């Protein structure tokens, strides 16, 4: 009896560090199920962390921002070469550029199956003005051109992105799937009582303007005038490859002024969340924010902008409070309300935890993702 050769899944991401934090469990589960797994990622983006888990990488040059035609062509050619050399059975692309260039390359390399994960529509869809509008139209045209692989399925993290994508690309709905984020390990992020006062508010994210970092700092300044003992923390590193990144000089200045505490990048987010009373994310748009999923799991009240992705997790008045995006005054009002009302915080926190148990476990996300792989293999 001839033993069937095991299938190979190639994950393609901008950043190896992102893969470790958001997709590592999925890759390990694929390996446990008998798949050969490897990751193509932007060069010098943290490949060593994947090697520690026994996952082989294929680094390639990728500009995460900008549309320099020469650079973009090189990225496409690099992916095409990787696909031809590795001959994967399934490629799983994550984020815009891997999806766009990778799907075209997969078609040219005759990769049998493609899974595209749209984890959020990206900073292009949060920028304002005429230039941003032109870029959005260009990206939508690229999507229409790129996503023509005969055996391709697309995963979205929230219903609004899914609907917008259908309108922009006219893809058949049977190829589109809703899977709520990358999931949260409920054992790693258990329900935890509030810490002692004073109230502590934290924003956990990459330090991007699109995450509402500026609004959080402005709201903290407003509140510190009335409540000097309250604490306001930013937990996350800068992202020099993203045009929306806050600079280290700005973060250090805010920290030195006493407006907020910048904690920098933290590998162990659980402790940061457990030390807070309220978790904030005044982002301009999200896929399904992992920081809010983890905050819900540990049982923390949340404040988020009323935008796609955030409102998928934060139900206003039920699991947290929603505020208009780009509005530091409304954010400060919500923070003051929760800072002064422990009973409201506790009610929202309990409901958030129950919702996390019901909808956001990493086991459910992995199970649903393998159903998509099965649909690709069945074609």
Is residue 194 included in any domain, yes or no? no
Q: How far apart are CA 189 and CA 299, in angstroms?
A: 9
Q: Which two tokens stand for residue 328?
A: 């530091």
The residues with which 264 forms a beta bridge, in sequence order, are: 235
Question: What average pLDDT does this structure show over 216-221?
Answer: 98
Q: Collect all residues with Cβ–Cβ distance below 8 Å to 20 and sequence separation of at least 6.
A: 46, 49, 50, 53
Residue 300 has pLDDT above 60, yes or no: yes
Is residue 193 included in any domain, yes or no? no
| Whether residue 131 is found in the same domain as residue 257 | no
Cα angle 227-318-121, degrees, rounded to a multiple of 5? 90
pLDDT at 171 (0 to 100): 75
Is residue 236 included in any domain, yes or no? yes
Is residue 191 included in any domain, yes or no? no
- Quote the domain boundaries for residue 159: 8-183+361-378
Query: pTM, whole model, 2 decimals?
Result: 0.88
What's the CATH code of the domain at 165? 3.40.50.2000
CA-closest candidate to residue 162, choices 151, 152, 175, 149: 175
pLDDT at 287 (0 to 100): 87
pLDDT at 65 (0 to 100): 63
| Whether residue 257 is found in the same domain as residue 164 | no
Is residue 26 included in any domain, yes or no? yes
Secondary structure percentages of the chain, helix, strand, coil, to 5: 45, 20, 35
| Whether residue 175 is found in the same domain as residue 286 | no
Is residue 112 included in any domain, yes or no? yes
| Whether residue 369 is found in the same domain as residue 322 | no
pLDDT at 247 (0 to 100): 96
Residue 4 has pLDDT above 70, yes or no: no
Q: Collect all residues with Cβ–Cβ distance below 8 Å to 177 and sequence separation of at least 6.
A: 153, 154, 155, 156, 368, 372
pLDDT at 379 (0 to 100): 75
| Whether residue 166 is found in the same domain as residue 297 | no
| Whether residue 146 is found in the same domain as residue 223 | no
Indicate the pLDDT class of residue 162, thresholds 50, 70 and 90.
confident
CB neighbourhood size of 101 (10 A):
23
| Whether residue 37 is found in the same domain as residue 91 | yes
Residue 136 has pLDDT above 70, yes or no: no
Helices (H), 35-182: 47-51, 69-86, 96-108, 130-146, 159-169
* Proportion of the chain above pLDDT 90, given as a percent: 73
Is residue 142 included in any domain, yes or no? yes
| Whether residue 176 is found in the same domain as residue 122 | yes
| Whether residue 110 is found in the same domain as residue 219 | no
Burial letters for 26-41: b for 16+ Cβ neighbours within 10 Å, e otherwise?
bbebbbeeebbbbbbb
User: In this structure, are strands 301-305 and 278-281 parallel, antiparallel, or unpaired?
Assistant: parallel
- Each residue of 315-354: pLDDT tens digit? 999 999 999 999 999 999 999 999 999 999 999 999 999 9
Structural domain tally of the chain?
2
Ranking 30-34, 151-155, 239-243, 363-367 by mean pLDDT, the lowest is 239-243
pLDDT at 165 (0 to 100): 75
- Each residue of 171-211: pLDDT tens digit? 778 889 999 888 999 999 999 999 999 999 999 999 999 99
CA of 225: how far to CAs of 174, 257, 260, in Å? 54, 13, 13
CA of 173: how far to CAs of 26, 126, 377, in Å? 24, 25, 18
| Whether residue 343 is found in the same domain as residue 225 | yes
Question: What average pLDDT does this structure show over 265-289?
Answer: 95
pLDDT at 132 (0 to 100): 57
Indicate the helix (H) or strand (E) that contains 371: helix 362-378
Average pLDDT of the chain? 90
Residue 142 has pLDDT above 80, yes or no: no
Sheet with 8-13: list strands edge to edge: 56-60, 36-42, 8-13, 90-94, 113-118, 152-156, 176-178
The residues with which 115 forms a beta bridge, in sequence order, are: 92, 153
Is residue 302 included in any domain, yes or no? yes
Name which residue leads in pLDDT, 222 or 160.
222
Q: How far apart are CA 67 and CA 60, in angstroms?
A: 17
Burial letters for 201-223: b for 16+ Cβ neighbours within 10 Å, e otherwise?
bbbbbbbbbbbbbbbbbbbbbbb
| Whether residue 141 is found in the same domain as residue 166 | yes
Q: How far apart are CA 309 and CA 272, in angstroms?
A: 22
pLDDT at 1 (0 to 100): 35
| Whether residue 247 is found in the same domain as residue 102 | no
């Amino acid at each position: 009896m001839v033993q069937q050769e095991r299938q190979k899944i190639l994950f393609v991401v901008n950043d190896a560090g992102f893969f470790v934090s958001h997709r590592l469990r999925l890759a390990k589960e694929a390996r446990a199920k008998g798949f050969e797994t490897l990751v193509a990622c932007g060069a010098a983006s943290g490949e060593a962390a994947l090697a520690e888990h026994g996952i082989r990488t294929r680094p390639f040059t990728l500009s995460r921002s900008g549309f320099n035609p020469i650079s973009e062509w090189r990225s496409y050619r690099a992916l095409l070469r990787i696909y031809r050399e590795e001959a994967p059975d399934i490629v799983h692309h994550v984020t815009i550029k891997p999806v766009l260039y990778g799907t075209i390359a997969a078609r040219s390399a005759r990769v049998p199956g493609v899974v595209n994960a749209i984890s959020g529509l990206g900073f292009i869809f949060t920028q304002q003005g005429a230039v941003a509008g032109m870029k959005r139209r260009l990206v939508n045209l690229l999507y229409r051109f790129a996503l023509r692989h005969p055996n391709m399925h697309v995963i979205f993290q929230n219903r609004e992105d899914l609907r917008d994508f259908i309108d922009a690309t006219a893809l058949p709905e049977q190829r589109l799937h809703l899977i709520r984020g990358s999931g949260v390990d409920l054992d790693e992020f258990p329900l935890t009582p509030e810490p002692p006062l004073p109230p502590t508010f934290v924003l956990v994210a990459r330090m991007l303007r699109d995450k509402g970092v500026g609004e959080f700092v402005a709201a903290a300044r407003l509140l510190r005038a009335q409540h000097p003992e309250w604490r306001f923390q930013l937990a996350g590193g800068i992202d020099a490859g993203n045009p929306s990144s806050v600079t280290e000089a700005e973060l250090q200045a805010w920290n030195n002024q006493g407006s907020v505490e910048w904690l920098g990048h933290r590998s162990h987010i659980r402790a940061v969340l457990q030390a807070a009373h309220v978790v904030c994310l005044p982002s301009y748009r999200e896929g399904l924010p992992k920081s809010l999923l983890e905050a819900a799991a540990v049982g923390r009240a949340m404040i988020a902008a009323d935008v796609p992705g955030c409102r998928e997790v934060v139900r206003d008045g039920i699991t947290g409070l929603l505020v208009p995006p780009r509005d530091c005054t409304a954010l400060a009002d919500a923070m003051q309300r929760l800072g002064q009302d422990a009973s409201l915080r506790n009610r929202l926190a309990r409901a958030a935890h129950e919702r996390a148990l019901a909808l956001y476990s990493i086991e459910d996300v992995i199970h649903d993702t393998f159903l998509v792989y099965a649909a690709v293999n069945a074609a």
